[in-house]
Structure 1
Amino acid sequence: MRIVLAEDSTLLREGLVRLLTEEGHEVAAAVATADDVVDAVARHRPDVVVTDVRMPPTHTDDGLRAALEIRRRWPGTGVLVLSQYVEKRYATRLLADRPEGVGYVLKDRVAQVDDFLDALDRVAEGATALDPEVVRQVLAGADRTDPLARLTPRERDVLHHMAQGHTNATIAGRLHVSQSAVEKHINTIFDKLELSRAGGYSRRVLAVLRYLGV
Structure 2
Amino acid sequence: MRAVIAEDSVLLRVGLVKVLEMAGFEVVAEAGDAEALLAAVEEHRPGIAVCDVRMPPGFTDEGVRAALAIRAQWPDTAVLLLSQYVEERYAADLLTGDTRGVGYLLKQRVADVEEFVDVLRRVAAGGTALDPQVVSQLLLRRHSDPLDRLTPREREVLELMAGGRSNAGIAERLVVSESAVAKHINSILAKLDLPKAEGDHRRVLAVLRFLGV
TM-score where L is the length of structure 1: 0.64
2:82–2:106 contact (8 Å) kept in structure 1:
yes
Aligned-residue CA RMSD (Å): 1.3
Give the CA deviation at 1:141: 4.7
Q: In structure 2, what is the Cα distance between the partners aligned to 1:78 and 1:128? A: 10
Matching of residue 129 in structure 1 with residue 129 in structure 2: yes
**Structure-2 residue corresponding to 1:35:** 35
1:29 match: secondary structure: strand
Whether the aligned pair in 1 keeps the contact of 2:88 and 2:137 (CA below 8 Å) is no
For 1:126 and 1:3, the matched residues in 2 are separated by 14
Corresponding residue of 1:61: 61
Q: Which amino acid aligns with 1:79?
A: V
Question: 2:101 aligns to what?
Answer: 101
The residue that corresponds to 1:87 in the other structure is 87
**Residue-by-residue CA offset, 1:112-151 (whole Å, 9 max, x unaligned):** 11121111111111111000111122334576xxxxxxxx
Corresponding residue for residue 113 of structure 1: 113
Check 1:87–1:142 CA distance in 2 against 1; reply closer, same or farther (3 A cut): closer
Cα drift, residue 71 of structure 1: 0.5
Post-superposition CA distance 1:63-121 (Å, at most 9, x none): 11111101000011100000011111000000112111100000001011112111111
1:18 aligns with 2:18: yes
Identity of aligned residues (%): 57
The aligned counterpart of 1:7 is 7
Q: 3-state SS of the aligned residue for 2:43?
A: helix
Secondary structure of the structure 1 residue equivalent to 2:30: strand
Residue type at the aligned position of 2:54: R
Match of residue 50 from structure 1: 50
Q: How far apart are residue 38 of structure 1 and its match?
A: 0.2
Distance 1:142 1:55, change over 3 A: closer
Q: CA deviation at 1:20?
A: 1.1
Partner letter of residue 87 of structure 1? E
Structure 2 residue runs of 5 or longer lacking an equivalent are: 144-213
TM-score by length of 2: 0.65
2:101 partner letter: G
Unaligned ranges ≥5, structure 1: 144-214
The amino acid across from 2:96 in the alignment is: A
String of CA shifts for 1:135-180, please: whole Å, max 9, x gaps: 122334576xxxxxxxxxxxxxxxxxxxxxxxxxxxxxxxxxxxxx
**Aligned twin of 1:194:** none
Aligned to 2:96, the other structure's residue is in SS state: helix
Equivalent residue letter for 1:133: Q
State the alpha-carbon separation in 2 of the partners of residues 142 and 104 from structure 1: 19
Matches within 5 A, 1:131-210: 131-141=131-141
| Pairwise CA distance, 1:58 | 1.4
